[in-house]
Chains A and B, each alone.
Chain A
Amino acid sequence: MAKVSMARVPHIPLLRSGRPYRSLEVRPLRDVVGGEVIAEASQASPGMISRDLRDMDQACEALGGLTVGRLLEICREAGRRFAEDELPLGEDRQGPEDYVRQLSATTAMPQSMVRSNVGKIVGALEGMEAVLGGLTRGLDLEILDQGWGEQDGRRMSYLRQSRSLGAVLPNNSPGVHTLWLPSIPLKVPLVLRPGSAEPWTPLRIAEALFASGCPRQAISFYPSGHAGGNQILLGSERSMIFGDQSTVERWQRDLRVQAHGPGWSKILLDQESSENWPSYLVLLAASVGANGGRSCINASGVWASNHGLELAQGLATRLASVPARGLEDPEAELAGFSDPEIARRLSQMIDDQLEIPGARDLTAELRSGGRVVEVEGCTFLVPTVIWCEDPQHPLAQAEFGFPFVSVVQVPESQLFESIGPTLVATVISDKPALREQALTCAHVDRLNFGPIPTHQIAWDQPHEGNLFDHLYRQRAFQAA
């Protein structure tokens, strides 16, 4: 951890109940290409976070003083400001293009991809009413303002379960930040711990909300180490965490914590659609490769009922043609790795697992070089398609944060028997029996019927647990 403050690079402060605080402990944010320090971020200690969490009542009061309707207006305006305005970045200012460049520089996400994620965030902020409609299943939101009310002839009352929503956030993709946004119009203050390389998005969202009229007390922002993130989870009555399996599994039994880990999302094809696989090749490739393959909603598995090897070879041919390009290239489709060593280790892990009989890297047979490539100073893993003869092979259930997919052939009748945890399942079949199996499969979270890309999100649908249910409890209510 750097102790010496670097001259004239933007300083990212903590926000303690919205109040900027410059810590004496800072961490540099470096450009993945060349290593230049482009900003520094104040670091919060667990003790500070714990102390601040005691004062969340004031933040609740500040948000509670506004109606949901007004907060939705604030979200709408914040969406526009996020996309268009120059907003505070500590004591400096940050325009939309600064944001794109800075985020790309520290996370190795191509600038074009960052811009497309901006669209997701704006869409969530501007469409927040629909988001809340989906989360609350059409609740008259004035009931949250008044504490109780009547809807469809029934009295209803909801009790807030927490004085704040803690969120331990990832580095992988800005679009993920849409998941905690509803907390503000739901009147629950936010306590955010950003990913070490990606403080940019949560801070910019916070500043856009403040500029639009959101009370500053409603958002706390604590760049910090793992201990700070743990303190948020331990000290918040409700929280969410994003991370790899080893990170989230520690919290999965804690009902206060909504854990968002790997997705292991899959596309499943019945006999007929497997035979007709070329028709779905675009859908398959997009599900694997969209957003650089970084999201939990990217497909990492294709389970075909037959013609599996042909399908895998077709997908490999298509994905192997996607080149790594520089982060500023508007045609870039692959995201890089901020730490080249991680890319090398992942690639080695895949190679080690390929030693286990029953799996082949079909893309390796199509390209001249290795899986790890460097372009314009940034390290990439190029798309990888594995043909797995055995659904129990470790690579059949793998996810690596780049366009990686295993194609597995399983008899149609056994498609759902061994798919394992699956965040998004796109089931390409019209067969009622297969659809019935999908509907009752406990492993599946988000379910798509028909040729819907796994990464296609409907804003009115919950994601990996319902945030409204996480934050509120319906209680029995009678009034005489």
Chain B
Amino acid sequence: MVEILQTPLTDKIHQARQKLDEHVREIVAWHFDPATGCPFWLERATGWDFDPRKEIGSYGDLSILGHFQDEWLRGGPVRRWVPKALADRPISVFETGGSTGVPKSRINIDDFRIDYEMLSDALPDESFPRGRDWLMLGPTGPRRLRLAIEHMAQHRGGIAFHVDLDPRWVNKLVRAQRFEELEAYKAHITDQALTILRAHDTLSCLFTTPKLLEALCEKVDLKRMGIEGIFCGGTEMNAQFHRFAREELVPGVEFVPIYGNTLMGLACPRPFDAEVKDYTITYYPPSPRAIFDLVDPEDPEKTVAYGETGRVMLTTLTREFFMPRFLERDEGERTEPIDLYPWDGVSSLRLLSSLTKTVAVGVY
């Protein structure tokens, strides 16, 4: 008989998995209960010859549902996604960036607040001081970020200032190769940001995208402007940008890469070790509210081995939104659990290689 070596991490992994399975059962029971579930899943279940509440006892059992299709989120009626038990609550709808056609819509009630409060818990108070104000320089409009960053700032006792960015216009400019207009639009955004930064000396924290951070840093030294912590997300975030940011753009400022999207919530990065200087960005999903697997792009039923490249398969499990096994447009290397996040992560997240020629990324 093989003796299994128990370490604190393996215990944590086991406990996290148990918690995930319990959470799966709770969420499946909620979404497929006629009293609480949403019309979409309840109607869908009428066509099945099984009751998901009986058949799904663990995360692995979700495979019985196949893969969530993003087409289901494109177009209306959007109320089919509202769980009956939450129908009386104020509903928000958030859209994805729109870089892949008709945007996907997701209804939201409290999820974005919960997601960003969880992120807030992971931010160091030294570099993201509580009570200080934020500048949000990124996609607003129908996206979750605008409200989410504001909520996080408020949650930490601060106020959020905003500068609009319309990523869909940016995508059009990129596709049409109207580079001078793109530069002008970028300058329009950074000029507004500079005006706010110069006018309000209570600002210490910044959210922005890699390209806008570069553009801002061409004009000012953000550390001298009083910025102490930056969190930054977008498609073009990679290890080289992480290094470039820490070494050249904003040395001495805490730089936190972030991966978030409307469908998942927020994934947290493995903390940067200044001694090791490994700039590889590894994200961990907010389990059990969302979890991802790295799967073989040719056979999504197979999870790839640690260190191997796979396509991100995302499952979102909240009372507001149930999205099992959605094949994202991203890929990366499957990464082992760590003490802080005892479940699988993904390294070097990037656009799926098969899509790199068709999706425009602009100021993201």
Contact = CB atoms under 8 A, between A and B. Distances in A.
A25 B211 CA distance: 16
Nearest to B333: A3
12 contacts: A1-B350, A3-B238, A3-B333, A3-B348, A24-B243, A25-B238, A25-B240, A45-B241, A47-B244, A51-B218, A51-B248, A250-B177
Contact of A24 (B210, B236, B240): B240
Nearest to B183: A234
A47 B211 contact: yes
Contacts of A54: 218
Contact of B240 (A45, A46, A50, A230): A45
A245 interface: no
A48 interface: yes
Nearest to B211: A47
Interface string B185-225: 00000000000000000000000001100110110000000
A23 interface: yes
Contacts of B210: 47
B244 A45 contact: yes
The 3 closest A-B pairs by CB, nearest first: A47-B214, A24-B240, A25-B240
B218 A3 contact: no
B169 interface: no
Contacts, number: 47
A250 B248 CA distance: 32
Contacts of B180: 234
Interface string B59-79: 000000000000000000000
Interface in A22-48: 23-25, 43, 45-48
A25 B218 contact: no
A46 B241 CA distance: 11
B306 interface: no
Contacts of A51: 214, 217-218, 248-249
B179 interface: yes
B279 interface: yes
Interface residues of A, number: 17
B123 interface: no
Interface of A: 1, 3, 23-25, 43, 45-48, 50-51, 54, 230, 233-234, 250
A3 B248 contact: no
B239 interface: yes
Contacts of B177: 250
Contacts of A25: 238-240
Nearest to B213: A47
A50 B187 CA distance: 13
Nearest to A1: B350
Contacts of B243: 24
A367 B175 CA distance: 42
A308 to B, nearest CB: 39
Contacts of A48: 244, 248
Interface in B61-99: none
Given A45-B240, A47-B211, A230-B179, A24 B279 contact: yes
A462 to B, nearest CB: 27
A24 B179 contact: no
A3 B280 CA distance: 10
Contacts of A47: 210-211, 214-215, 241, 244, 249
A25 B244 CA distance: 11
Given A47-B210, A234-B179, A24 B248 contact: no
A3 B308 CA distance: 12
A135 to B, nearest CB: 29
B122 to A, nearest CB: 24
A11 to B, nearest CB: 14
A48 B243 CA distance: 11
Contacts of B179: 230, 233-234, 250
Given A3-B333, A3-B350, A51-B218, 5 more contacts: A24-B279, A45-B244, A47-B241, A51-B248, A250-B179
Nearest to B353: A1
A3 B239 contact: yes
A3 B348 CA distance: 8
A25 B281 CA distance: 13
Contacts of A24: 238-240, 243, 279
A289 B183 CA distance: 42
Nearest to A42: B240
Nearest to A48: B244
Contacts of A23: 240
Contacts of A233: 179
A354 B134 CA distance: 63
